[in-house]
Structure 1
Amino acid sequence: MTGTNFDTLPETRRPQAGPPLPPLAISVIALSMISIMLPMLLAGGANYPSPFGPEEEIVGWFRMHPTSAILTVLLQFAASVPLAIYAAAVWSRLNRLGVRAPGPAIGFAGGILASAAMAVSAAFTWALTRPEMLEHPELIRLLHDLAFFAGGPAYVVPFGLLVAGIAVPGLLARLLPRWLAIVGLVLAGIAMIATLVVAIPELAILLPIARFPSLAWIVACAFLLPRSRAAANRGAQSGVSTTEAARR
């Protein structure tokens, strides 16, 4: 699981550390949560329409709340950018920590796919804000379903790969607290099961169960993942907590 200890190399030969993880993770969760809460407030408390609701309710919401819809698009699309950067940065961090197993690459692929799915979902929702679309209820329903699929299963399942790609090496290489790594594996498992939502809509409850705790989980990892293998080793040898090791 481990390779060259990069901290023993001369400064000019060490791989670049990459952007700091905490600001990226916080940006993802902040933009994601604001994209849900702020449009609802602007819509007077009216919830974003469920894709499983009646067509009249869906069409009526987009006709009555175009500003809320476009704000959802803006914030959702904005959240996809730091997510992609986070996936690349954490892949680089794990490589710097000496992890040579496929896990980080799988996590990177999952993060990029989740970011792309979020952007595609925003694109479908953006199409719903076009005035000419509001005269075609059947197209509104179709685009809303596509936006749900992209922002639901197509986002959550790859996000589970990102979580698993961090949790597995975090557990095996002792880069994360054991409890945090195990929680990540459980969340990744729930995200994988959410694939069944495509065939069994009643399992859609798994989407928020996997989505929101996973967002909080990547924030915790951003703070606790050590910056160098030497820091992780020092923490393990001296009994220092992973939190303290991550600060060194």
Structure 2
Amino acid sequence: MNAPPLPERSAAAQAGTAGTGPVRPRMPFVGALMYVLLFVGGLTGSTALARTTYPSPFGGNADILDYFAHHRDAVLLQGVLQGVSAVGLLVLAAALADAAAGRSTDDRAVHPRLIAAAGGLGAAFQLLSALLGWVAVRDTTQSSPALVRALHDLSFVTGGPGAVIGVGVMIGATALALRGALPGWIRPAGLVLCAVALASLLCLATQSAAFLLPVGRFLGMAWLLVVTLLLGRVGRGPRSAGGGR
């Protein structure tokens, strides 16, 4: 009548979890697709609406103030789409953390926690950046050019290095956590992208490092799309062999 020892039962459960992969294999890809498509849609949509690109914080004061004064709808469109994109990033971080935890045999594994924390931080910075754009085009704000410029700079710092570093660390932790379930090139590529994202913080010290932001952001998006698509296939395979649910 004695029950099986708890450690043996726990080990079996962990082994079963590690073999079956994430419970919802499509969820990471859905989150990645939502994050990427809405972010890119915000950039392209606002550019088409304003017929000019969003101003760089390294540009002249006159160009920045003119953009926020005459392209309110473009700023709002970009803010809405990138704000919802941040929700997709949050979903993605949670799904990747769940996948990493499902493949770990250590209850104290740091990678799932780091994935969730870094992804959540990146999503929070991106959402804050989107909200700051709404404030910058308010009529009361427009009466103070210095305030508009300060909001633009703050939007850049949060949506640029802040968000990119968060996503980069999430990518690095994912590459380490899922290295056994994905092709061999995934891990070094993810770690390189993590290093690029961290190095993008140098743009606050020198404009010449600003190119690291789009490199880290858009190559990181491509990496996430590929990895989550592969992860979904890996997740479906073992359940099909075992009978599934």
**TM-score bracket for the superposition, by shorter chain length:** 0.7 to 0.9
In the TM superposition, residue 200 of structure 1 has moved relative to its aligned partner by: 2.4
- Matching of residue 59 in structure 1 with residue 65 in structure 2: yes
Moved more, 189-198 or 68-77: 189-198
Contact 2:89 2:123 in 1 (8 A): yes
Scaled by the length of structure 2, the TM-score of the pair is 0.84
Superposed CA offset, 1:151-195 (max 9, x none): 011111111111011101222xx1111112221111111111112
Contact 1:152 1:207 in 2 (8 A): yes
SS of equivalent to 1:36: helix
Contact 1:169 1:175 in 2 (8 A): no
- Matching of residue 200 in structure 1 with residue 206 in structure 2: yes
Partner residue in 2 for 1:167: 175
Of the three residues 169, 179, 182, the one matched with 2:185 is: 179
How far apart in 2 are the matches of 1:15 and 1:114?
23
How far apart in 2 are the matches of 1:222 and 1:93?
10
SS of equivalent to 2:181: coil
In the TM superposition, residue 99 of structure 1 has moved relative to its aligned partner by: 5.3
How far apart in 2 are the matches of 1:140 and 1:89?
37
Partner residue in 2 for 1:108: 116
How far apart in 2 are the matches of 1:17 and 1:47?
38
Partner residue in 2 for 1:243: none
Shift in CA distance, 99/51, structure 1 to aligned 2, threshold 3 Å: farther
How far apart in 2 are the matches of 1:154 and 1:58?
21
Give the RMSD, CA atoms, in angstroms: 2.4
Of the three residues 186, 189, 211, the one matched with 2:217 is: 211
Q: Specify every segment of 5 or more residues in structure 2 that has no aligned partner in the other structure, as ranges.
A: 1-10
Superposed CA offset, 1:118-170 (max 9, x none): 01101111101211211211111100000000001111111111101110122
Shift in CA distance, 127/99, structure 1 to aligned 2, threshold 3 Å: farther
Give identity over the alignment, percent. 29
Of the three residues 118, 137, 149, the one matched with 1:141 is: 149
Partner residue in 2 for 1:70: 76
Matched letter for residue 111 of structure 2: G
- Matching of residue 223 in structure 1 with residue 229 in structure 2: yes
Of the three residues 39, 47, 51, the one matched with 2:53 is: 47
Partner residue in 2 for 1:154: 162
Number of equivalences: 224
How far apart in 2 are the matches of 1:15 and 1:184?
20
Superposed CA offset, 1:24-71 (max 9, x none): 111110001011001100112x11111111111001011111100100
How far apart in 2 are the matches of 1:19 and 1:133?
43
Of the three residues 19, 22, 45, the one matched with 2:29 is: 22
Moved more, 14-23 or 63-72: 14-23
Partner residue in 2 for 1:245: none
How far apart in 2 are the matches of 1:201 and 1:155?
18
Partner residue in 1 for 2:3: none
Q: Specify every segment of 5 or more residues in structure 1 that has no aligned partner in the other structure, as ranges.
A: 235-248
